[in-house]
Amino acid sequence: MSATAPPGTAGTTPRVPWVSYTGVYLLLFLIGTETFLVSPLLPTIAGDVGVTESAAAVTVTAYTLVYALTAPFLGAVSDRFGRRPTILAGTVLFLLGNALAAVAGDLTVLVVARVAGALGAALAGPSIWAHIAETAPESVRGRAVGLGMALFSAGQVLGVPAGSFLAGWGGWRASFWALTALSAASVPLLLSQIPRARGRDDVPSVGLGSVFSVWRDGVLRHTLVVVFLLQAANLGAYTFLGTALHDRFGLSVDALGLLGVLVGAGSALGSLAAGRIGDRARGRGAGDAVWIPVWALLLGGAAVVAALGSPRIAVYAGVLVWFFASGAFGTVIQTLLVSARPELGATSSSWNSATLYAGTAVGVTAASSFAHADTGTAAVGGGLALLAGLVAVPLVGRLRPSGTGSTDRRHQEDQDAGEAGGDRGAGEVRRSQEEVSADDHA
């Protein structure tokens, strides 16, 4: 059942209850900021703790690896024990990790601090996505998720300049103190805005062993394969875009910094646009799965233009469209994963993050095998995105709503349940769209 206001009367446009999500939106922004915060601080941190920059870079590796490896298991914790306790526990752990980083006197303590911060983010992040999907009215669910994605992307982009500014003002520790203070500010908001009840009384509690059941669900497995391919194209290609543009146009560091602005603006706009498009599609009973291959193909085409295009304005336009499609794809997928199997909402979302990291690693490896950065960026960005789009086409068919209010997914789940040897819940009949809408507005 939804923890939102009742629906409006006929003719009234439903609105997202933004105020009830300020706490989780702030936390998503902070988690996004934390991801790349250390990058501009590495020289200063290395000098302060007496290590090389390469050694200091292990703090970045530790954060990303711990997040990727633990997120699926911590997502299962959320699905087992509920959103409120896991979001709050993750926030406190994230806060303590940043506070410890701010006072760290050596590299070992700093690595431990970053590990704690990653565990907190991995515990809270998937729970937040599931919480938004479960409590937002169905008619505006895409917009609610889209704004969260936009803020998360903005945090990632702003992390580098914010870290540089704060380091210049108060030293590198000031960046971590700022994260600590803002995390603390989110706690009272979370306490007042996240209901004690899980808000999903109609969905049975799942065990911690369900962490791998996502991969036994045919539709979720298919979706994550598409995510893997698309993110290999997306972030794998982007890793070498700066090098490609430097080689082709001799762009300075400052000029390359414009890429970050375009990436952030494109991602945020795409996230917001996809949320609105998806809500309208679901309102017509069409569903928004059809947009998955569209965003994948648009991303691939724009990546080729960004890598090989000329003049520069065409390259910059390509980057903007590239990450518009990336943000839109992320919103559609996030909405799908946390809504398709509500009892596995956080687990599905956490596997999305883990698959993203795995895809990025493969994409970077593939792009690095090319002799020239521009051809590697174009081949990986365009080729793998095209493959992702093609693989997504049959997924659209599996998710297409039928005329009776159910979906083809219902029949697929029944088949998958038999193939999985009776995996619990894999073949459960989904509620009709009318029942879901009634529950969401109860």
8 A C-beta contact, residue 349 and residue 130: yes
Q: Which helix (H) or strand (E) holds 400?
A: none
8 A C-beta contact, residue 384 and residue 230: yes
Q: What are phi and psi of 401, to 5 degrees?
A: -65, 145
Cβ burial, residue 278 (10 Å; 0-12/13-18/19+): buried
Q: Which two tokens stand for residue 400?
A: 């297409």
Task: Compute the half-sphere exposure of residue 142: CA atoms within 13 Å on the CB side of its CA.
Answer: 27
Range in 319-323, 395-399, 430-434 the model is least confident about: 430-434
Q: In which band, very low, low, confident or very high, does the pLDDT at 120 lie, cut at 50, 70 and 90?
A: very high
CA dihedral for 279, 146, 327, 365, sign (positive or negative): negative
Q: In which band, very low, low, confident or very high, does the pLDDT at 413 lie, cut at 50, 70 and 90?
A: very low
Query: CA 437 to CA 442: how far, in whole Å?
Result: 9
Residue 104 φ/ψ region, left for φ over 0, alpha for ψ in the -120 to 50 degree band, beta for the rest:
beta
Q: What is the pLDDT of residues 133-157, one digit of tens each?
A: 888 888 888 889 999 989 988 887 7
The predicted pLDDT at position 112 comes to 96
The predicted pLDDT at position 404 comes to 36
The pLDDT of 217-228, averaged and rounded, is: 93
Query: Given 3-state DSSP classes, what are the helix, strand and coil percentages for the chain, each rounded to the nearest 5?
Result: 80, 0, 20
The pLDDT of 253-271, averaged and rounded, is: 80
The pLDDT of 270-274, averaged and rounded, is: 93
DSSP, res 369: T
**407: β partners:** 401
The predicted pLDDT at position 437 comes to 40
The pLDDT of 172-185, averaged and rounded, is: 93
The pLDDT of 255-271, averaged and rounded, is: 82
Query: CA 98 to CA 88: how far, in whole Å?
Result: 16
The predicted pLDDT at position 376 comes to 92
The pLDDT of 431-441, averaged and rounded, is: 39
* CA-based nearest residue to 87, from 187, 18, 156: 187
Most confident among 42-51, 108-117, 347-356, 406-415 (mean pLDDT):
108-117
Query: CA 423 to CA 210: how far, in whole Å?
Result: 10
Mean pLDDT across the chain: 81
Question: Would the pLDDT of 211 be above 70?
Answer: yes
Query: CA 274 to CA 19: how far, in whole Å?
Result: 21
Question: Would the pLDDT of 410 be above 50?
Answer: no
Range in 9-23, 64-78, 258-272 the model is least confident about: 9-23
Of the two residues 205 and 297, the one the predictor is more confident about is 297
The predicted pLDDT at position 257 comes to 66
Q: How many helices and strands (H and E) does the chain possess?
A: 17, 0
Q: In which band, very low, low, confident or very high, does the pLDDT at 8 lie, cut at 50, 70 and 90?
A: very low
The predicted pLDDT at position 272 comes to 92
Q: What does the CA dihedral 154, 156, 161, 162 come to, rounded to 10 degrees?
A: 80
First to last CA, the chain: 6
Q: What is the reported pTM?
A: 0.77
Those residues with Cβ within 8 angstroms of residue 146's Cβ, 6 or more apart along the chain or in another chain: 271, 272, 273, 274, 275, 276, 278, 331
Q: What is the pLDDT of residues 51-79, one digit of tens each?
A: 888 888 888 888 888 888 888 888 888 88
The predicted pLDDT at position 209 comes to 64
Q: Which two tokens stand for residue 371?
A: 């002799």
The predicted pLDDT at position 279 comes to 87
The pLDDT of 284-310, averaged and rounded, is: 90
Percent of the chain with pLDDT over 90: 37
The pLDDT of 89-113, averaged and rounded, is: 95
The CA-based angle 104-107-113, given to 5 degrees, is: 55
Residue 136 φ/ψ region, left for φ over 0, alpha for ψ in the -120 to 50 degree band, beta for the rest:
beta
* CA-based nearest residue to 226, from 346, 399, 368, 371: 399
The predicted pLDDT at position 407 comes to 41
8 A C-beta contact, residue 86 and residue 78: yes
